[in-house]
Chain A
């Protein structure tokens, strides 16, 4: 008999719990998005939860692309209020947001992050250029006759005679990661620009169809690429679109190893294999300075200062996006954004730079604080 009562009480408690929760909507701010912004967002959430009467926001690490997909699904308690991104929102994502009723989005720039290309301290620090990275890691690179061929380079010496003759072996994040997108754009794209023919192609406008086709033929890019882009975009592509398709593709023959979103794992693997290089955010390099070292890229080593003043070429902005329709409905959203952008968090002496975030300039910070206060709507 006792057991029956106990069971009934338990079931009633569960059902009661569900009912009250649905009636109240949601009282915890829900944040999703980039694994690079995650360490910073969680620090802000923790301080916010400890110092105010609001509940601590819930932060999920889904990757920039995954976060924006969830964010743009619609408006309502079932969808996230904020998404973090380690790149800017794409036009296609913005359009998908609009068509799902997520009309008002506030864009907030939080700072910068450098992407480190690091190896174990047991081996020597490498001096790389962006072109070396492109030649080592792109899927297709220019061959002897200037036409693109599947990447033939096996060792770093093949890429640049000044580099050691070790096998090209790079551990990096998977395609869902914003770090990967940014690396492709900044390092591979930046390196490809050093190839004159690719640079010419990049500069061509969409109405210069014949020039684009001629340039493609010179580089040995199949004409199907152009056609595929026409179909994808619904209009004539620019030379830059072709360039992106070609230059941002990472090789898939085993030289680039997808190591998941777990950056600590990459650090551990680098320790075990001194010949390998790893790609991860600057904050992980800073925390593991006794185990790994960042390679110099275009003769600049990744450091707090070189990223902040823009000398280090492989760095990118970090953002978060707020769903304005939820502000006022779910408590704490704007207050959380204000805490994030406050002087004591994001200022030069704030607690986020302590954790490895490269802060904004004073002028940028003032602008961002203003945007948060007025919930400035993003338009694209």
Chain B
């Protein structure tokens, strides 16, 4: 054994410790990176859930309502048309005054009326239309509380803040406390949030219109992007000749995937609205724009998935006499399907969360009615979140976070579906 090799071993052994330490360090960096990511995610989720959770409950106040025919301005046995026009707001106001006769002066009365949501007027109207025999009777009815009164009942407004700086005044707090002691307040699950469209009153606002809008928009996106994307991928992968032109097309598709989404919105405005004169604010145009955005994602993932189908499957099919078309549709596509579906679902999930391109085509709008088709004016979930975040009323803060939770729920479901489909149809 020469002296040289001996020193060499010593050198290696000496450096060994260092190398192990380096690996340890690297592992720790990695753990730290993962941990940082998780901490940020946790802070984000905790903030959203913390802010959004109260939006899922809603406060009701039991009011003794007297359906006085004189006050309503209708006779018992009036027609539906007359009942529709009756003064229900006046009834709500007089009922509140009867419950708290101590409220005097214009300012105090106004504050008293502010305990109950403006939606109560329309609720009472619908209630009386269903039960016209109520005219002339007096009964206890649960009415929806105003968002600010609701916030106090939920314990979100502290008495420590000086009165001038709060939206709920001392006298209102006193009334609400009395109501609570009498068992006339109740917290219920907020069903309105899922059954109503947008509203300017936080307590009445719901996401149904936005959900339907998102559904119609994604339907159009899927119907356009999925077939076009899959056929483009199949052609490019299985039939197209390899030449400069196809190379160019491939480069362009890859570049298109990186184009900022707002550019597609501008394109939609110029082409579909200004040139083809399709309606503004409609899911039809929104869906077309989003399908342009998702197409590259679908084509790229579909091609990758078709590419990964083992050539032996193709060769075997061709070997037993199948035509190239039969080979593709009977053998290659079914094997590639899990990958194609995964790519499409991820593309659709992206489209669901997109708001920037819709800004340009008028889908950022106040829309209360639930859309009934792809040409009705509508908005989508992310846009609804944006609009609520921009509203001056404080009650929308929790609605914003609640809507974000719903949107995230849908995204998680879609991504889980993608994973499930991949596992389910993967050939073992």
Q: Which of B254-289 contact A (CB under 8 A)?
A: 273, 277, 279-282, 284
Cβ-defined contact, B200 with A46, below 8 A: yes
Does B385 belong to the interface (CB within 8 Å)? no
Main secondary structure of the interface of B (DSSP, over half): loop
Chain A residue nearest to B374 (CB atoms) is A17
Cβ contacts under 8 Å, A378 to chain B: none
Chain B residue nearest to A53 (CB atoms) is B84
Cβ-defined contact, B281 with A58, below 8 A: yes
Query: Whole-angstrom distance between the alpha carbons of A287 and B167 in the complex?
Result: 8
Cβ contacts under 8 Å, B317 to chain A: none
Contact flags (1/0) for A188-211 with B, using CB distance below 8 Å? 000000000000000000000000
Cβ contacts under 8 Å, A22 to chain B: 375
Does B389 belong to the interface (CB within 8 Å)? yes
Cβ contacts under 8 Å, A286 to chain B: 392
Cβ-defined contact, A39 with B200, below 8 A: yes
Does A21 belong to the interface (CB within 8 Å)? yes
Selected A-B contacts with CB under 8 Å, 27 pairs: A7-B223, A10-B219, A14-B284, A21-B376, A28-B369, A28-B376, A41-B366, A43-B200, A46-B200, A49-B369, A56-B197, A58-B377, A60-B365, A61-B365, A78-B280, A261-B390, A263-B390, A263-B392, A264-B392, A283-B392, A287-B393, A288-B394, A289-B164, A289-B165, A290-B161, A351-B118, A356-B392
Cβ contacts under 8 Å, B282 to chain A: 21
Cβ-defined contact, A14 with B366, below 8 A: no
Cβ-defined contact, B366 with A290, below 8 A: no
Please tell me which one of the listed residues B122, B166, B369, B389 contacts residue A55 in the complex, with CB atoms under 8 A apart: B369
Min CB gap B244→A, angstroms: 36
Which residue, A7, A11, A14, A51, has most C-beta atoms of chain B within 10 A? A14
Query: Whole-angstrom distance between the alpha carbons of A308 and B200 in the complex?
Result: 24
Does B73 belong to the interface (CB within 8 Å)? no
Cβ contacts under 8 Å, A42 to chain B: 200, 366
Cβ-defined contact, A39 with B392, below 8 A: yes
Cβ-defined contact, A262 with B365, below 8 A: no
Contact A58 B279, CB 8 Å, known A17-B374, A287-B394: no
Please tell me which one of the listed residues B220, B367, B392 contacts residue A58 in the complex, with CB atoms under 8 A apart: B367
Cβ-defined contact, A284 with B392, below 8 A: yes
Min CB gap B270→A, angstroms: 13
Does B373 belong to the interface (CB within 8 Å)? yes
Cβ-defined contact, B166 with A28, below 8 A: no
Query: Whole-angstrom distance between the alpha carbons of A283 and B365 in the complex?
Result: 20
Min CB gap B125→A, angstroms: 9
Cβ contacts under 8 Å, B280 to chain A: 30, 78
Cβ contacts under 8 Å, A51 to chain B: 122
Cβ-defined contact, B165 with A290, below 8 A: yes
Q: Which of A27-59 contact B (CB under 8 A)?
A: 28, 30, 38-39, 41-43, 45-47, 49-51, 55-56, 58-59
Chain B residue nearest to A77 (CB atoms) is B279
Cβ contacts under 8 Å, A17 to chain B: 284, 373-375
B residues within 8 Å of A by Cβ? 110, 118, 122, 161, 164-167, 197, 199-201, 219-220, 223, 273, 277, 279-282, 284, 362, 364-369, 373-377, 389-394
Known: A18-B374, A61-B366. 18 other contacts (CB 8 A): A10-B219, A10-B223, A14-B374, A17-B374, A18-B284, A21-B282, A21-B373, A30-B281, A39-B200, A39-B392, A49-B369, A58-B281, A60-B365, A78-B277, A78-B280, A261-B390, A263-B390, A289-B164
Contact A61 B367, CB 8 Å, known A11-B223, A21-B279: no
Cβ contacts under 8 Å, A49 to chain B: 368-369
Contact A46 B164, CB 8 Å, known A10-B223, A28-B377, A262-B390: no
Chain A residue nearest to B362 (CB atoms) is A60
Which 3 pairs across A and B sit closest by C-beta, in order of nearness? A21-B375, A290-B165, A59-B366
Cβ-defined contact, A38 with B373, below 8 A: no
Q: Which of A252-306 contact B (CB under 8 A)?
A: 261-264, 283-284, 286-290
Query: Whole-angstrom distance between the alpha carbons of A283 and B281 in the complex?
Result: 27
Cβ-defined contact, A38 with B366, below 8 A: yes
Cβ contacts under 8 Å, A77 to chain B: 279
The A/B interface has a contact count, at CB < 8 Å, of 103
Chain A residue nearest to B378 (CB atoms) is A58
Query: Whole-angstrom distance between the alpha carbons of A61 and B118 in the complex?
Result: 24
Contact A39 B373, CB 8 Å, known A11-B223, A46-B200, A351-B118: no
Please tell me which one of the listed residues A14, A60, A264 contacts residue B223 in the complex, with CB atoms under 8 A apart: A14
We find that the number of chain A residues with CB closer than 8 angstroms to chain B is 46
Does A373 belong to the interface (CB within 8 Å)? no
Does A26 belong to the interface (CB within 8 Å)? yes
A residues within 8 Å of B by Cβ? 7, 10-11, 14, 17-18, 21-22, 26, 28, 30, 38-39, 41-43, 45-47, 49-51, 55-56, 58-61, 77-78, 121, 261-264, 283-284, 286-290, 349, 351, 355-356
Query: Whole-angstrom distance between the alpha carbons of A47 and B281 in the complex?
Result: 21
Cβ contacts under 8 Å, A26 to chain B: 279
Cβ-defined contact, A287 with B366, below 8 A: no
Cβ contacts under 8 Å, B364 to chain A: 60-61
Query: Whole-angstrom distance between the alpha carbons of A261 and B284 in the complex?
Result: 27
Min CB gap A45→B, angstroms: 6
Chain B residue nearest to A285 (CB atoms) is B392
Query: Whole-angstrom distance between the alpha carbons of A49 and B370 in the complex?
Result: 12
Cβ contacts under 8 Å, B279 to chain A: 21, 26, 77-78
Query: Whole-angstrom distance between the alpha carbons of A290 and B159 in the complex?
Result: 13
Min CB gap A173→B, angstroms: 12
Query: Whole-angstrom distance between the alpha carbons of A39 and B166 in the complex?
Result: 21
Cβ contacts under 8 Å, A28 to chain B: 369, 376-377
Min CB gap B393→A, angstroms: 6
Query: Whole-angstrom distance between the alpha carbons of A261 and B359 in the complex?
Result: 13
Cβ contacts under 8 Å, B220 to chain A: 14
Min CB gap A51→B, angstroms: 8
Query: Whole-angstrom distance between the alpha carbons of A356 and B391 in the complex?
Result: 13
Chain B residue nearest to A19 (CB atoms) is B375
